[in-house]
Chain A
Amino acid sequence: IQMTQSPSLLSASVGDRVTLSCKAGQNINNYLAWYQQKLGEAPKLLIYNANSLQTGIPSRFSGSGSGTDFTLTISSLQPEDVATYFCQQYNSWLTFGSGTKLEIK
């Protein structure tokens, strides 16, 4: 299942509400996760089952969507949120999106 993320690069200011998009090539029944990867680090799980917040993740992160269209929202962008964000489907095997690189303006 192909996963398409947009935009590939996003520049925003501290305090902004930021929205990242992920589209699946077919219905994935909400079996979608979001990961944050900072430079030189392993990815970190943020959201699973499309909208469930992983333990220990700040509440400014939230996930929404269903079927084929999904969104990761950061309600108030912080400097430490600079990273690349990947979506992943696990409805049929596992595939990742190509990522959205988030930077501070």
Chain B
Amino acid sequence: EVQLQQSGAELVRPGTSVKLSCKVSGDTITAYYMHFVKQRPGQGLEWIGRIDPEDDSTKYAEKFKNKATLTADTSSNTAYLKLSSLTSEDTATYFCTTFGDWGQGVMVTVSS
């Protein structure tokens, strides 16, 4: 059974960056495209982008191209989402997912 384990909740200051992790267990990360999805409190789901850990190729939704950076470390079976220049609009829960499997989500709160 594939499991996606995400890092813990973050409280961060406006203007800074944060890097979230998503560790895959039960399979090798190179077997999947890893996607990240944003969900603001009480709102719907937004696709941020995806990475192919096999070759580190990435695709991003247009609105996240200057906000998000996806990386992967095959040695630790972990994918990462870095969010930069954080504002209150980035306060949300972020999920990693292969769409068949989902991480538990990590809440990022941007506040001074």
Contact = CB atoms under 8 A, between A and B. Distances in A.
A99 B47 contact: no
Contact of A96 (B47, B100, B102, B103): B47
A33 B99 CA distance: 9
Contacts of A48: 99
Interface in B27-51: 35, 44-47
B104 interface: yes
A54 interface: yes
Contacts of A54: 100
A45 B99 contact: yes
Contacts of A96: 44-47
Interface residues of A, number: 17
A98 B44 contact: yes
Contacts of A35: 45
A27 to B, nearest CB: 20
Given A42-B103, A42-B105, A45-B100, A94 B47 contact: yes
Interface of B: 35, 44-47, 59, 61, 95, 97, 99-100, 102-105
Interface of A: 33, 35, 42-45, 48, 54, 86, 88, 93-99
